Structure 1
Amino acid sequence: MMAKLGIFIALAVFLETVSGASLGVVTTEGGMVQGQNIRLGSGRYMDIFKGIPYAARPGRFEKPKSHPGWDGGLYSAAILLCSCLSSETRGSEDCLYLNIWIPQGSSVSSGLPVMVWHFGGGFLVGGSMGANFLDNYLYDGQEIADRGNVIVVTLGYRVGTLGFLSTGQSDLPGNYGLWDQHTAIAWVHRNIRAFGGDPNNITIFGESAGGASVSFQTLTPHNKGLIKRAISQSGVAICPWGVNKNPRKFAEEVAIKVKCPTDSSMAACLKMTDAVTLTMAGTLSLSSSADHPLVENLLLSAVLDGDFLPDEPHNLFHNAADIDYIVGVNDMDGHIFTSLDVPSINSPLVHTPIEDVKRLLTSYTREKGKAGLDNAYSTYTSNWGSNPSQETIKKTIVEIGTDYLFLVPSQTALYLHASKARTGRTYSYVFSEPNRMAGIGKPYPSWVGADHADDLQYVFGKPFATPLGYWPWHRDVSRYMIAYWTNFARTGDPNVGENSVPVNWPEFTDGEKFLEINSNMNNNYVREKMRLRYVNFWASVFPSLPTVVSE
């Protein structure tokens, strides 16, 4: 009897092993590629391709060019290749590669929605797989692909000086990193069918500078017909750090650091400079204060080049009229930035003077002078009473940073997208799951909500991939976000797809509704008119004040 049982078990294991589907060798425009196939569970498999080149090694300060291919040979896409060179100095100029995850069942998948990830990092740092801890990469697409039954693509793009340095003229036009992203999206559109994807159902998504990148990709005229949907997490093109209006000033500062002239021969000299030296010359200074906040140091970003961005971003939303769009923020996105500007906010034992609120607001409202400061200060202190607590003062500083850097621009982008939309739907959210380090005896005070980048671990399913590091309710949050995100990628409606969701998420156009996402969700978490008083101040009252200092 035991012998027969053993035979049945062996047979079952054998059938399970051979029944799983795999793409095997895939033919792309560059040649044949082979990844790896892994078993996830009963009847569930995953094809993974890492390090597929989507363009040739880029020329210095040039648009990417087509990859020449690998004549007749088989390209092994089983290992990660170099990230783009950044101020962390790791990486290479030869870095335009992407990674693909394809879920498989008993038969080879076809016609799957495709989700293309754009990493964040202030346009200065980052890579296609993100931070790595014990071989657990932040942007590993396996959990999203498996749980959402979608194809996930992560791409590398040039960052720092090599990705965004510009003189504002044709000799150094800038936006090379954005051109990389566009080239990767176009490659996916042309090749993803061979991997089981639907080229007509591509969703691009990203966070922080990646969220702004997603926004830029929907606004440029060069992506017409390539993108079906988009998700911007904590960043849009019209954020105050999204576009550098005076790129030449920073280009000259970099040139001086690397001993290049600042005259008409500057661009030629910079092109000949060692890549690491050039990259380190564009490193972000983390020294900041309420008088000179960190945002003022974010000088490598997109530029109005007359090509990728032919106009100011707010004038380009007609290009996104047929793209479904989700835009959202974390409820304390500004915390990590304002805690560098005003370090006392993180210490319950250190006094934060009201003067620090005024100093930060003075920095943010400098172009409008005293009228700007007075209006902003009265807006943010109207509910303080005569004797505000230290917690109130500290939280107000975080709210100011969150509103100015992320929330108000995101709401403005939602208004603009909705106003120009033809077939494109618009959805708004705020993510409010408290930071896991907040609490007594930990780095953050107990009142800290969702800090910048706190959403990433949930979108990429870390509570499932590394369960010992999380509580059960964290898996709830992750399940909700993956469901909303992948349903949206599949149908354009985050409520409709292959995954059930805890709360119906209405469109933004339905009374400026938004969804608050956390572990305790119910119908009370559908709200409307996100922080309307503050959005109205920054988007309407503040711009109407007379300008006294030019940018």
Structure 2
Amino acid sequence: MEKLRILLLVAFSLETISATSLGVVLTEGGLVRGENIRLGFRRHMDIFKGIPFADIPGRFEIPKRHPGWNGILKATEYRKRCLQVNLKMTSTRGSEDCLYLNIWVPHGRSVSTNLPVMVWIYGGGFLVGGSMGANFLDNYLYSGQEIADRGNVIVVTLGYRLGTLGFLSTGDASLPGNYGLWDQHYAIAWVHRNIRSFGGDPDNITLFGESAGGASVNFQTLTPHSRGLFRRAISQSGVALCPWAVNRNPRRLAEEIALKVNCPTDDSMVACLKMTDPRVLTMAGSLDPSGSADNPIVGQLVLAATIDGDFLPDEPGKLYHNAADVDYIAGVNDMDGHVFTGLDVPSINNPQVDTPVEDVKRLLRSYTKEKGQAGLDNAFATYSSNWGTNPSQTTIKRTIVEIGTDYIFLVPIQTALYLHAANATTGRTYSYVLSEPNRMGGLARPYPRWMGADHADDLQYVFGKPFTTPRAYWSKHRDLSGYMIAYWTNFAKTGDPNKGDLKVPTTWPKFTSSGHQYLEINSKMDKSYVHQKMRVRYVHFWASTLPNLPDSSV
């Protein structure tokens, strides 16, 4: 026993002496040193926090290269998130000095070289969010540690400007907008130029993001400025075609913001906005979180991308040829719309309160208002066709969630997949739906018993939270998290989610313009979870039937 103890001590000492670490890394801005942690026997990780990828941005200006620094930058603490409203929309948090990124580099027996790189873009409706430290109860949701360790990839997270400071636009050259998207682009370009020094392969970069981050990933594949910077992309619950992703009347919003901050709306408006206190500007872009079926909250998400003739030279749907060589995964959670429709129609989350059929019609009328009565009639006929004569409350409430999911997420994502597959040359296309029931389903409002996967439910599994905080999850959740990390990191390595270092539970077929195959992701998944033509009847209604109806004159 004593001999075994001595051998173990010797082994531990040898590992400590030869701990694998990058040490000081040379970047284009100067030298950086991160933190090296031990994960297990002959497994270490270097973590770099708060490396600047651009200079402090000028107000409503495209970012510029960082001037660099002297000595060694101590990259061991997260920087502040970008200036934004708080979740209650009552105050602001963060800083204009926020263009930083974080890097996780796993090592085995030797220091890693030529690893695939995964760059994360967070969501939050282009209004809130961040990749800088604890999100909730000291738990950092976007820590790249589990993905990097389990998948043997480098993970990068970044900051980008939000709200008024990131997306306000006059629709012309005086204030073109898209500053948050330019920030993301500069971060990706910095990674491409510098990641080899961290042991990464600059020719094998994958973008991934969720919600507004998923739409951002899609925008980055569509802009001509990104050519050659990355090879693959994953959009979770958001694409450039979502109804909230592009503002086609930015001038009107700019004038509304100007009036809120006591600026004129004439030729001096932009100069006044640039001189306005940034926190006042940020608050002016907040929204009213109390939506209604007649005024759905998704319609308030107007601080978004603009077609500026530069970053986005045309409508997103006409730019998919720019993604012809990009391998692409896009998918949806089966009840992604719940977080929005629960605000618009609160009764769907209260089993003691009935939801009238009229609320279904009110929501559909809001989503189809440009087509008038014909739009509503066609929509209601589509969604009530399998109700029977006396639909249950569960049927009515679930239908409202399905309507929100289809309109806000699922149909635009299916359309984006079709356009990507139709324009692809070497790029491969994959489609998925996450159907794992919400962990709070039936336990407490706002989670009914029939809840599937709500918006953002995928994040905990992709980032390995069932492994990080095992007591908060069941074993089936660790299975699911392992599956998603395997598919995501295999895809980052090879462009095929089935091929890589990690085993997957079933083969995920490519999405093609004819087959429309997709994978249902679930903790119980097997080969029977491969399907075709996701919600085809509803996709056809929103993508074909409704657009071909005449516009209402009202």
Q: TM-score, normalised by structure 1?
A: 0.98
- d(CA) in 1 for partners of 2:284 and 2:221? 31
Does structure 2 retain, via aligned residues, the 8 Å contact 1:366–1:549?
no
- d(CA) in 1 for partners of 2:164 and 2:479? 40
- Is it true that 1:535 corresponds to 2:539 in the alignment? yes
Q: Point out the more displaced range, 83-92 or 450-459.
A: 83-92
- Is it true that 1:127 corresponds to 2:125 in the alignment? no
- d(CA) in 2 for partners of 1:132 and 1:356? 34
- d(CA) in 2 for partners of 1:152 and 1:70? 24
- Is it true that 1:483 corresponds to 2:458 in the alignment? no
- Listed as ranges, the matches of 1:331-350 within 5 Å are 331-350=334-353
- d(CA) in 2 for partners of 1:133 and 1:176? 27
Does structure 2 retain, via aligned residues, the 8 Å contact 1:117–1:155?
yes
Does structure 2 retain, via aligned residues, the 8 Å contact 1:233–1:329?
yes
Q: 1:75 aligns with which of 73, 76, 84?
A: 73
- d(CA) in 2 for partners of 1:439 and 1:351? 17
- Is it true that 1:255 corresponds to 2:255 in the alignment? no
Q: Which runs of 5+ in 2 are unaligned?
A: 87-91
- d(CA) in 2 for partners of 1:5 and 1:488? 42
**Partner SS, residue 457 of structure 2:** coil
Alignment partner, residue 548 of structure 2: 544
- d(CA) in 2 for partners of 1:151 and 1:549? 54
Q: Point out the more displaced range, 434-443 or 479-488.
A: 434-443
Over 3 Å counting, the alpha-carbon distance change for 1:413 and 1:5 in structure 2 is closer
Q: 1:164 aligns with which of 150, 162, 167?
A: 167
Alignment partner, residue 96 of structure 2: 93
- d(CA) in 2 for partners of 1:19 and 1:103? 15
* Cα displacement string for residues 158-197 of structure 1 (whole angstroms, at most 9, x for unaligned residues): 0010000111111111000000000000000000000000
* Cα displacement string for residues 63-119 of structure 1 (whole angstroms, at most 9, x for unaligned residues): 000000013x10110000111000122211010000000000111101110000000
> Post-superposition shift, 1:233?
0.2
> Post-superposition shift, 1:20?
3.0
Alignment partner, residue 214 of structure 2: 211
> Post-superposition shift, 1:458?
0.3
> Post-superposition shift, 1:5?
4.8
* Cα displacement string for residues 383-442 of structure 1 (whole angstroms, at most 9, x for unaligned residues): 000100000000000000000000000000000000000000000000011111111555
Alignment partner, residue 10 of structure 2: 11
Alignment partner, residue 55 of structure 1: 54
- Is it true that 1:200 corresponds to 2:203 in the alignment? yes
- Structure 1 counterpart of 2:531, which letter? R
- d(CA) in 2 for partners of 1:239 and 1:258? 29
Alignment partner, residue 496 of structure 2: 493
Q: 2:402 aligns with which of 370, 391, 399?
A: 399
Does structure 1 retain, via aligned residues, the 8 Å contact 2:78–2:133?
no
- d(CA) in 2 for partners of 1:322 and 1:452? 29
* Cα displacement string for residues 351-399 of structure 1 (whole angstroms, at most 9, x for unaligned residues): 1000000000000000011111111110000000010000000000000
Over 3 Å counting, the alpha-carbon distance change for 1:220 and 1:441 in structure 2 is closer
* Cα displacement string for residues 22-62 of structure 1 (whole angstroms, at most 9, x for unaligned residues): 00000000000000100001111110000000000000000
* Cα displacement string for residues 287-345 of structure 1 (whole angstroms, at most 9, x for unaligned residues): 21000000111010000000000000000000000000000000000001000000000
Q: 2:365 aligns with which of 350, 362, 382?
A: 362
- d(CA) in 2 for partners of 1:393 and 1:40? 49
Alignment partner, residue 26 of structure 1: 25
- d(CA) in 1 for partners of 2:403 and 2:166? 30
- d(CA) in 1 for partners of 2:298 and 2:359? 16
**Partner SS, residue 38 of structure 1:** strand
**Partner SS, residue 455 of structure 1:** helix
- d(CA) in 2 for partners of 1:442 and 1:304? 40
- Aligned pair count reads 548
> Post-superposition shift, 1:121?
0.2
- d(CA) in 1 for partners of 2:221 and 2:353? 44
Q: 1:302 aligns with which of 282, 300, 305?
A: 305
Q: Which runs of 5+ in 1 are unaligned?
A: none
- d(CA) in 2 for partners of 1:24 and 1:483? 29
Does structure 2 retain, via aligned residues, the 8 Å contact 1:144–1:150?
yes
RMSD: 1.1
- d(CA) in 2 for partners of 1:447 and 1:15? 54
**Partner SS, residue 114 of structure 1:** strand
- d(CA) in 2 for partners of 1:187 and 1:13? 37
- Structure 2 counterpart of 1:75, which letter? L
Alignment partner, residue 287 of structure 1: 290
Q: 2:522 aligns with which of 518, 524, 527?
A: 518
- Listed as ranges, the matches of 1:142-153 within 5 Å are 142-153=145-156
- d(CA) in 2 for partners of 1:353 and 1:144? 45
**Partner SS, residue 441 of structure 2:** coil
- d(CA) in 2 for partners of 1:428 and 1:11? 50
> Post-superposition shift, 1:17?
1.5
- d(CA) in 2 for partners of 1:271 and 1:10? 62
- d(CA) in 2 for partners of 1:435 and 1:9? 44
> Post-superposition shift, 1:135?
2.9
- Structure 1 counterpart of 2:35, which letter? Q
- d(CA) in 2 for partners of 1:5 and 1:236? 56
Does structure 2 retain, via aligned residues, the 8 Å contact 1:120–1:210?
yes
- Is it true that 1:507 corresponds to 2:505 in the alignment? no
Alignment partner, residue 314 of structure 2: 311
- d(CA) in 1 for partners of 2:445 and 2:103? 37
- Structure 2 counterpart of 1:391, which letter? T
**Partner SS, residue 136 of structure 1:** coil
